[in-house]
Amino acid sequence: MIDDLDELARRLAAWLEERHPERAPVSVTNLKRSDAGYSNVTLLGELGWARNGAPQAQPVVLRVQPPSGTVYPDCDIVRQYRVMEGLAGSDVPVPRLLGLETDPVRLGAPSFLMERIDGRVPNENPLYHVEGWFHDLSADTLRQHWFSGIDTLAAVAWAERLGRPYPHLHAACAWLVANQPTDEPMTLSWGDAKLGNCVYRDGRVVGALDWEQATLASPVDDLAWWLMLDESLSTGYGLPRLAGLPSREETVTHWEHASGFPAQHLPYYDVFAAWRMAYVMARIGTVFMERGWVELEGRRIEVTPESWVMTRDHSWGLRPSVGVPPADLQPDPMDSHPPRCWRCGTRCTSRRPTVRCSGSSSTCSSTPATAGGTKTCRAASSTPKAGASRSSASSRGCVSMRATSGCSAARWS
């Protein structure tokens, strides 16, 4: 039923009328899937009802228990709801909850409804270190946003299903167990503390999102995760960190002051954060292979024009039974021939790691990237040429995870 959004909207409206008969009739409109994240099924919509004869509207988010083959196999939608319910009214600005349904028959799967907060989230695809509204903030405003996020994760402290063996992950896990600190404070841990989970308005965090990995842990765990993710989105891509962002030292000092905890054993939690991230990425790779979005390891495939299909967001992707193009059909930054535009087949003239194709209707308008700049793919609806490379989730050569027509690839790998 999640695929039939009209039917889901009708069921959701009936469910709300049962819970709030004083607001009947309730309407649910503009229900659509969100393209953010891979760990949950997230739908966006708008509620409508009347109060004293005056029409009322409320933007909402519906989080749905995902199927078993997801990034977090033990993802529990009820647990997320209970964590956010416990944080309601605290200094952590979680969205207002509107109801939980545990019976899968009612809405197709266990689900919870919450308000959609008006604000902006720093973009991770393309990287906020490269472009976007966060990138364009002044130095003082940038610091304000950054430290508001650090204050939020400080407030939080207050208040092998991988498909194949990963020996380095096992070795790192053994080291983490052997060197785990003892006698540490235990607090609530956000579990996914990052800029991309902060909703900003007027320079302040007004919403802290994504609580599926919340747990009890050392408060330093969230700090290390925040620092690790910021570094992975800059130097991890071979890019300079966004000028004006506070340094690691400033961030740690600010967090210690805001949380009241010392950043004790931070080097240990740096390793733990990197290990967690590696595990998550390995899991994402497994899920993508299970769903046929990428090639199974060790498997060669043949790609023809008939291999491509239109996806739900009206961009082009490979049929699940096909996988991804072989390596010889993917761009190689070390090749003497730059990558081709997936739409028009024209060679891109830029060799920078931040290349983003600017292919248009029939002619590739890609030009060399300027210092610190990128290019934007505006390819619309035309079947890719046979043998052309594609910047999307269906191409291993691109780090972009979402198969969208407006490609947000940050570099070729």
Q: For 66-117, what is each residue's pLDDT tens digit?
A: 776 555 556 788 888 988 988 888 889 999 999 999 998 899 889 999 999 9
CB contact set of 297 (below 8 Å; sequence gap of 6+): 164, 289
Residue 113: per-residue pLDDT: 95
pLDDT band at 290, cuts 50/70/90?
A: low
Residue 53: per-residue pLDDT: 82
Residue 281 has pLDDT above 70, yes or no: yes
Lowest mean pLDDT among 22-26, 138-142, 357-361: 357-361
Residue 199 has pLDDT above 50, yes or no: yes
Residue 62: per-residue pLDDT: 94
CATH architecture label of 5-115: 2-Layer Sandwich (3.30)
Residue 409: per-residue pLDDT: 32
* Six token digits for residue 132: 């976007």
Residue 2: per-residue pLDDT: 64
Residue 404: per-residue pLDDT: 32
Q: Side-chain half-sphere of 67: how many Cα atoms within 13 Å?
A: 6
Residue with tokens 């940050």: 410
For residues 149-168, give the mean pLDDT: 75
Strand partners, 111: 64, 101
Residue 229 identity: L
> Distance between CA 198 and CA 94 in Å, rounded?
10
Bigger pLDDT: 161 vs 179: 179
Q: Compute the mean pLDDT over every residue in the chain, rounded to the nearest whole number.
A: 74
CB 239 within 8 A of CB 210: no
> Distance between CA 156 and CA 13 in Å, rounded?
33
CATH 3.30.200.20 segments of the chain: 5-115
The string of pLDDT tens digits covering residues 355-411 is 334 433 333 333 333 333 333 333 333 333 333 333 333 332 333 333 333 333 332
* Six token digits for residue 140: 């003082």
Residue 3 has pLDDT above 50, yes or no: yes
Residue 28: per-residue pLDDT: 94
Residue 122 has pLDDT above 70, yes or no: yes
Residue 73: per-residue pLDDT: 58
For residues 27-52, give the mean pLDDT: 84
Residue 90: per-residue pLDDT: 84
0.95 surpassed by pTM:
no
Residue 325: per-residue pLDDT: 39
> Distance between CA 124 and CA 288 in Å, rounded?
19
Percent of the chain with pLDDT over 90: 45
Residue 10 has pLDDT above 60, yes or no: yes
Residue 327 has pLDDT above 70, yes or no: no
pLDDT band at 266, cuts 50/70/90?
A: very high
Q: Topology of 139-290 in CATH?
A: Aminoglycoside 3'-phosphotransferase; Chain: A, domain 2 (3.90.1200)
CATH 3.90.1200.10 segments of the chain: 139-290
> Distance between CA 44 and CA 60 in Å, rounded?
6
